[in-house]
């Protein structure tokens, strides 16, 4: 259980989190040659990714790729930064060093910590919103107010998906899979949820307002560990990475809010129903393998490497970031589908990267 019992600023000084600055490129010292990789994350709209290191942290732009920040000699005595959580491209982020379970709020404009949340158990994840911080432990999720770090909600994890709508004080429980949940993702507007179980064969998409199942897609027949799920901005596509070294893109039959789609140019799209098995009319008799939608585009990378996925400036560009230091952007044809075409490749862990 986590509780905000201490802050890095004096009590008379409140945390000024009502306004944010956008991160801009900055010059930094040359990275140390003895750098150990700890953590990798992609921000909420897939425009940046961050890396936690034994020497500090780095931030990169995506699509096109560009290193924009390197904070050297930060928490080195405590093992460096083992976890980073970004808030879009703002200057406020959450960091955890290698020696504690304390979530610390870092302001990169003032280069100081604004507050901290000590936790009594290992922190599994941290998610940031404009007004809340969500801290995930093994058996509990705690939601804090961003400005004062007061506890707003405490939720026990019970092996199922719980969708909590704080604006309307509404809760939905979703029995997504027969086995444990391994990975999940929300659209930016929070309307749709994608889940994968520890089996890694089926990915399901739900409506968060009522918990209804909207679509089921199939990654493959063999078991796999799902590393990452990501919706495109229009919620027309879903990207999936696994330990098989493959990244799949599925066409979805759902549509997000018009505010997210009105700036996207309409183009012909592949009929996702054509990617279902030709035996799908027997779906009431045959196993689900024959009725689930299969991917419309895919690419094979190194097996066993953990890759995180996101979408680039348009719905047909996929950003892939690996814990081996690899960065890719791929493009797929929304009409023809098939193998994706590589647009970019970089090794972001090379010391000669210019920040």
**Nearest partner of 311 among 231, 247, 251, judged by Cα:** 231
CA atoms of 64 and 8, how far apart (whole Å):
36
All residues at 6 or more sequence positions from 243 whose CB lies less than 8 Å from its CB, including other chains: 224, 225, 227, 303, 304, 306
* pLDDT at 256 (0 to 100): 52
Q: In what helix (H) or strand (E) does residue 260 lie, and over which residues does it extend?
A: helix 258-261
The C-alpha atoms of residue 337 and residue 209 are separated, in whole angstroms, by 31
pLDDT along the chain (355 residues), means of 10: 37 42 52 74 95 93 92 82 94 90 93 92 92 91 92 80 79 81 91 91 91 89 92 95 95 62 40 46 44 82 95 95 96 94 93 55
In which region does residue 219 sit, left (phi positive, over 0), alpha (psi from -120 to 50) or beta (all else)?
Answer: alpha
Supply 257's token pair: 């809010």
pLDDT at 354: 58
Please tell me the pTM assigned to this model: 0.79
Q: Of 228, 249, 247, whose CA–CA distance to 238 is shortest?
A: 249
What are 208's two structure tokens? 């968060």
Q: Find out whether 200 and 218 touch, Cβ atoms under 8 Å.
A: no
Helix (H, G, I), strand (E, B) or coil at 67: strand
Contact present, 32 and 55 (Cβ < 8 Å): yes
| Domains of the chain from N-terminus onward | 34-157 (2.130.10.10), 179-355 (2.130.10.10)
Q: What is the pLDDT of residue 100?
A: 86
């Amino acid at each position: 259980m986590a509780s905000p019992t201490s802050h890095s600023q004096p009590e008379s000084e409140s945390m000024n989190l009502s306004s944010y600055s956008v991160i801009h490129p900055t010059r930094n010292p040359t990275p140390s040659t003895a750098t150990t990789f700890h953590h990798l994350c992609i921000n909420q709209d897939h425009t940046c990714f961050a890396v936690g290191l034994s020497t500090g942290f780095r931030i990169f732009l995506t699509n096109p790729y560009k290193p924009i920040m390197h904070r050297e000699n930060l928490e080195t005595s405590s093992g460096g930064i083992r976890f980073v959580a970004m808030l879009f491209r703002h200057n406020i982020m959450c960091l955890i060093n290698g020696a504690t379970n304390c979530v610390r709020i870092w302001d990169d404009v003032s280069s100081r910590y604004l507050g901290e949340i000590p936790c009594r158990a290992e922190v599994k994840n941290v998610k940031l919103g404009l007004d809340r911080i969500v801290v995930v432990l093994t058996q509990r999720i705690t939601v804090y107010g961003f400005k004062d770090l007061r506890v707003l909600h405490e939720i026990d994890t019970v092996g199922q998906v719980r969708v909590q709508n704080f604006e309307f004080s509404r809760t939905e429980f979703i029995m997504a899979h027969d086995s444990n949940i391994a990975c999940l993702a929300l659209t930016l507007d929070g309307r749709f949820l994608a889940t994968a179980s520890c089996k890694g064969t089926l990915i399901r998409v739900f409506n968060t307002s009522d918990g209804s199942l909207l679509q089921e897609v199939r990654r493959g027949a063999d078991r796999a560990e799902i590393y990452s799920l990501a919706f495109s901005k229009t919620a027309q596509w879903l990207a999936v990475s696994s330990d098989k070294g493959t990244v799949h893109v599925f066409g979805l039959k759902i549509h997000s809010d018009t505010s997210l789609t009105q700036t996207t140019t309409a183009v012909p799209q592949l009929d996702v129903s054509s990617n279902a098995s030709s035996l799908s009319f027997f779906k009431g008799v045959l196993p689900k393998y024959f009725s689930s939608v299969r991917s419309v585009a895919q690419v094979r990378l190194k097996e066993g490497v953990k890759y995180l996925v996101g979408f680039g400036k348009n719905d047909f560009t996929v950003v892939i970031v690996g814990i081996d230091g690899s960065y890719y952007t791929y493009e797929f044809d929304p009409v023809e589908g098939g193998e994706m075409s590589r647009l970019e490749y970089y090794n972001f862990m090379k010391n000669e990267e210019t920040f």
